[in-house]
Amino acid sequence: MKFLFDKDTWQEIYSSVRKNKLRTGITIIGVMWGIFLLIVLLGAARGMENGFNKLFGDFATNSVFIWAQSTSKPFKGFQEGKRLTLKMSDLQSIKNEIEGLEFVVPRHQSQALAVNNFKSGNFGIFGDFPELDKVSKKNLVYGRFINDNDIKEKKKVCVIEEEIYKQLFDKDEFPIGQYIKINDINYKVVGMYKEGQIGSGGPQGNIHIPFTTFQQVYNRGNTIGWLMITGKPGYDITQIESDVKLLLKNLHKVHPQDNRAFGSFNLGKEIAKVTGFLLGMQFLTWFVGIATLIAGIFAIGNILLITVKERTKEIGIRRALGAKPWEIKRQIILESVFLTSIAGALGIIFGGLALMALDAYNSGEGSVLTNPTVDIPVILIASAILIILGTLIGLIPAQTAVSIRPIEALREE
Amino acid sequence: MIKIEKLHKSYPIGNDSLHVLKGLDLHIKEGEFVSIMGSSGSGKSTLLNIVGLLDGHDSGNYYLNGQLIENLDEKKAATLRNKFLGFVFQSFNLISYKNALENVALPLYYKGINRKERQKIALQYLDKVGLKNWANHLPSELSGGQKQRVAIARALVTQPKVVLADEPTGALDSSTSHSVMELLKEINREGMTVFVITHEEDIAAETDRIVRLKDGVIISDEKVIKKATV
């Protein structure tokens, strides 16, 4: 190890590099490009993943939405085309009979005209339970979400999205405690939240009122618009989806093979597709990056072979003066490792700068990449691969250097 | 110091083999100044390579400093070369991007001596060959004679037992040749065994003993009768 810290060792490397400045430079660029690509692509892939996570982040990812439609098969004396409606009693049955449920949240949904003084707009209006906040996290800016008391007392309160606030209120007005009119009924605003990029409603934003209030105001009796179901970790959401549907078919006297009676949207499945895509992209990134890296390192091996060939005579002199084969070898291996490390370090630095630039030009709402970064362990792994490959490739010219007998090397002109 | 018994060496050329050394017997004692004379193809370079442990021999015995040389691997050979032998080549063989001092210090590096000590010893030997003021010059900035002096300093720096000089004056004009030979003589006077290979009569004449080689056999081995220095 002492030889690593010896000034002479580095002087040798310096003089050997200095002799072939241009060639060494170009070779270094090869390896640099490899690691640069690896870092930038990995960072971009991570940025994309972050972007997707931001999109879906507010939703529990193992969720399924279920709603009622019309039957498509006659069953037990009922004609096909029977209209189905989910009831509050279905909710209890589902909770009792299906295993592995985290939350079952019933919702109602409609469109409504909301008015505040002279400002108005058409918005989606939802009847919700407090549990919704757990399934689809609401990022509250002011106030609170609907609570159990609101449900029990069927209070006329509402939680609005920031977008609605912007449309109904003046710029510096504080919304909490104010009243807005929804379909000619006054509701007190108790909370305001900021929506993630994928909301369950339109671009206009949503208004949430207590579920029981919705049922009463819009004459929905004890029905449910649709259900949001979340599975506990470790339970297959697809299995839960089919179990719940089968149970509902049973409760509503629907043919078990009737696929159109209940509609559903499996968020877990959709997210799995995206995750799979991201995984594939990451794999591709590693593959492309490492392949480029290997190409670059072979170039370093190549350049060292040429250098060794050119230095045959010098190596012969050194051996005549008493250099042991190992002393010659380690010098060349170190040179290889040194070149790859320098190239790697430069590549990592430039890759990092490129990611910073990407981030700077691509920030803000609606960007494709969110916070494109590469983890330190990934950098360490890449550096380790680089050094290992550099050592291995250095073995080739090192072996060539000592395979020529000193006497032949000396004769070389 | 160097003892050779029935030394044979042949080189394969295609399917044939060229018998270069045909049973040489040679004994060089410590402190001798010997020259090997012969025309090209006589086997003198081969002999030097074998004596210099740069090449192996086929049969016969070779004792260096009383030690029988056999089954040498490269590592052992390198250590022995470093310890016992100093080389002076016809084409100087200095390393072009190292200055005179660094060139002289190089064998000490392989001997494992630390940097400071190396510089000190190397400078001492450069002084000995009269080039102390040229220590920081690159070989390209030195004349032929100066380069050979640096090479001689490099050969001496490890305090070897034998200095092997392969046509040390082959690339020099006659006056610088003479001064290089004077330097070798001086070294010899200090007790060093010097072994010169040459094909020039007047260079050989400056040594103490001339061994003539022809077609791989020694044809004569005689002491030089010293003439008065002109």
User: Domains of chain B by range and CATH?
Assistant: 30-57+73-223 (3.40.50.300)
* A-contacting residues in B 169-208 (Cβ below 8 Å): none
**What is the pLDDT averaged over residues A310-318?**
87
- For A234-276, the pLDDT digits (tens) are 778 888 888 888 888 888 888 888 888 888 888 777 777 877 8
pLDDT band at residue A365 under the 50/70/90 scheme: low
A192: helix, strand or coil? strand
> Under an 8 A CB cutoff, do B74 and A324 touch?
yes
Q: Is A79 exposed, middle or buried (0-12, 13-18, 19+ CB in 10 A)?
A: exposed
State the smallest CA–CA distance between residue A318 and chain B in angstroms: 8
How far is Cα of residue B91 from the mean position of the Cα atoms in its chain?
12
Q: Does B119 touch chain A (CB under 8 A)?
A: no
Say if residue A250 is in the same domain as residue A338: no
Find chain B residues with C-beta within 8 A of A19's C-beta. Answer: 97
A70-125 confidence digits (pLDDT tens): 888 888 878 888 788 888 888 888 888 888 888 888 888 888 888 888 888 888 88
Q: CB distance B78–A317 less than 8 Å?
A: no
Q: Is the pLDDT of residue A172 over 60?
A: yes
The whole-angstrom separation of Cα A399 and Cα A3 is: 19
Chain A residues inside the 8 Å CB shell of B98: 15
For position A199, what pLDDT does the model report?
47
Shared domain for A73 and A216, answered yes or no, is yes
Chain A residues with CB under 8 Å of B55 CB are: 405, 407
Task: Tell me the average pLDDT across A217-244.
Answer: 83
| A205, A233, A267 - which closes a domain | A267
**Interface contact B93-A15, CB threshold 8 A:** no
A74 shares its domain with A96:
yes
Q: Do A323 and B158 touch (CB under 8 A)?
A: no
Q: In this structure, are A291 and A152 located in the same domain?
A: no
A60 vs B176, higher pLDDT: B176
Looking at the structure, do residues A368 and A393 belong to the same domain, yes or no?
Answer: yes
Higher per-residue confidence, A135 vs A390: A390
How far, in Å, CA of A269 to CA of A266, rounded?
Answer: 5
Closest-CA residue of A relative to B84 is: A322
Q: Smallest CA–CA separation between A333 and chain B, in Å?
A: 18
Q: Where is average pLDDT lowest: A5-19, A278-292, B101-115?
A: A5-19
- Residues A67 and A51 both lie in one domain: no
Comparing A398 with A258, which gets the higher pLDDT? A398
Please give the residue of chain B at the shortest CA–CA distance from A316: B93
Give chain A's mean pLDDT. 82
pLDDT at A409 over 90: no
Q: How far is B184 from chain A (nearest CA, A)?
A: 19
pTM value surpassing 0.80 = no
Give the mean model confidence (pLDDT) for residues A206-232.
85
Q: Which residues of A touch B97 (CB under 8 A)?
A: 15, 18-19
Residues A221 and A283 reside in one and the same domain: no
How many folded domains does chain A comprise? 2
Do A287 and A139 share a structural domain? no
Task: Tell me: do A205 and A282 sit in the same domain.
Answer: no
Place of tokens 């007392």: A153
B210 compared with A141, residue with greater pLDDT? B210
Interchain pair A322, B81: CB under 8 A: yes
Residue where a domain terminates, one of A242, A267, A292 = A267
Instruction: State whether A173 and A46 are in the same domain.
Output: no
Of A314, A320, A324, nearest to B75 by CB-CB distance is: A324
pLDDT of A344 over the 70 cut:
yes
pLDDT of residue A1: 61
The DSSP letter of residue A230 is E
Within 10 Å of residue A36's Cβ, how many Cβ atoms? 26
Strand partners, A320: none
Position A375 confidence tier, pLDDT thresholds 50, 70, 90:
confident
| DSSP element (H, E) containing B104 | helix B100-111
A256 and A110, same structural domain? yes
- Kindly tell me if the per-residue pLDDT of B139 is higher than 80: yes
Our CA angle for A61, A62, A65, nearest 5°, is 100
- Domain final residue, candidates A239, A267, A295: A267
Radius of gyration of chain A (CA): 34
Chain A contact for B11 (CB, 8 A cutoff): no
pLDDT for residue B138:
92
Interface test with A, best of B11, B73, B81, B115 (most A CBs within 10 A): B81
* The predicted structure's pLDDT at residue B165: 92
Q: In chain B, pLDDT over 90 holds for what percent of residues?
A: 39
Q: Residue A313 and residue B52: Cβ atoms within 8 Å?
A: no
Helix (H) or strand (E) holding A108: strand A101-116
Chain B within 8 Å of A152 (Cβ-Cβ)? no
Q: Which of B78, B94, B115 is the closest to A324 by Cβ?
A: B78
* Residue pLDDT, tens place only, B34-85: 999 988 888 888 888 899 888 888 888 999 888 888 888 888 888 898 889 9
> Residue A378's domain spans which residues?
2-56+272-411
Is the pLDDT score of A294 beyond 80? Answer: yes
On whether both A111 and A174 belong to a single domain, the answer is yes
Q: What is the pLDDT of residues B140-179, one digit of tens each?
A: 999 989 999 999 999 999 999 999 998 888 888 888 898 9
pLDDT-based confidence at residue A363 (cuts at 50, 70, 90): low
Residue of chain B whose alpha carbon sits nearest to that of A16:
B97
Task: Tell me the backbone φ, ψ of residue B99, rounded to 5 degrees.
Answer: -75, 175
The region of weakest confidence among A164-168, A242-246, A348-352, B223-227 is B223-227
